[in-house]
Amino acid sequence: MSTLRRLTPSLLRRRLSTACAPLPEPVPWTRAPLSQVSPAAESLFHISVDVSQAPRLAASHTRAGQYLQLRVPGAAWPSFLAIASPPARAAADGEFEFLVASVPGSTAEQLCRLKRGDAVELSGVMGRGFDVDQIEPPEDYPTVLMFATGSGISPIRSLIESGFDASKRSDVRLYYGAMNLHRMAYQDRFKYWESSGIEVIPVLSEPNHSWMGETGNIQAAFSKARKIWRPLSTGAVICGHRQMREEVTSILVKDGVLRERILTNS
């Protein structure tokens, strides 16, 4: 008896339906040159891609927290990268900026070895980004707590420099964790961020003897400070490794912050 005759009618229909299902649409790729490759911190690099000749791609970046895939010639797999620059930067300057961790053996490492003028390929912009409507208007959500580790600061930078009325809120804090100051990117932007109404709190897990700031992980630093006076009027933005995201979310929810006010760059 053939295999098809042994199948039940319902299973046969499912098999045929699967076999006849349309193939997924191929990812459209846009070729573009690098306009900057420079160190941002130890094992981290500033990468900028000139998308001035791809206005539709540039315009598709509409919200902080979005990301895309980037292909390097000769690499086996593309790399997923959060866009570090605010959406308006792509529209105005025709440029996407990234903060890339150079992980040995990865596509990202190959990307960080390229130079200005080398061509890469970009997918379309992906993800919903940070749903900042959940923490608007600022007078209703005066407290916004942001948490980032390592290159997870990329989409947080995009959000900060996009503007979310931080100056109109009474308590906006950024807990930014890294191993040490050599591994912490964007230190040159801290004063600018603080001028917009954000308290920047660096947290170092392995500082040198001269460090006088917060130490350990950002979960512990936040737990020590806490100070959530009105949890139902508090929002949060989290980007970094999974354990940190889960632990910070658990702390916030336990303190009464609503889950829908805890934003991630999904």
Full DSSP string of 84-117: -S-HHHHHHH-EEEEEEE--TTSHHHHHHT--TT
Same domain, 112 and 146: no
| Number of domains into which the chain is organized | 2
Q: Which of 103, 126, 149 is the last residue of a domain?
A: 126
Q: What is the CATH number of the domain that holds 195?
A: 3.40.50.80
Query: Do 173 and 196 contact (CB within 8 A), yes or no?
Result: no
How confident is the model over 49-76, as pLDDT tens digits? 999 999 999 999 999 999 999 999 989 9
**Domain containing residue 212:** 132-264
Chain-centre distance for alpha carbon 213: 25
How confident is the model over 98-120, as pLDDT tens digits? 999 999 999 999 999 999 999 99
Helix, strand counts (H, E) of the chain? 9, 12
Quote the pTM value.
0.87
- Bridge partner residues of 200 (DSSP): 174
Closest CA to 62 of 133, 167, 10, 168: 133
Tens of pLDDT along the chain (266 residues)? 444 445 455 554 555 454 455 544 566 899 999 999 999 999 999 999 999 999 999 999 999 999 999 999 989 999 999 999 999 988 899 999 999 999 999 999 999 999 999 999 999 999 999 999 999 999 999 999 999 999 999 999 999 999 999 999 999 999 999 999 999 999 999 999 999 999 999 999 999 999 999 999 999 999 988 777 899 999 999 999 999 999 999 999 999 999 999 999 86
Query: Do 124 and 180 contact (CB within 8 A), yes or no?
Result: no
pLDDT at residue 1, rounded to an integer: 44
Same domain, 144 and 166: yes
Same domain, 136 and 107: no
Task: Give CA separation, 210 vs 180, 232, 264, 265, in Å.
Answer: 11, 39, 34, 35
- Dihedral sign computed on CA atoms, order 145, 150, 154, 160: positive
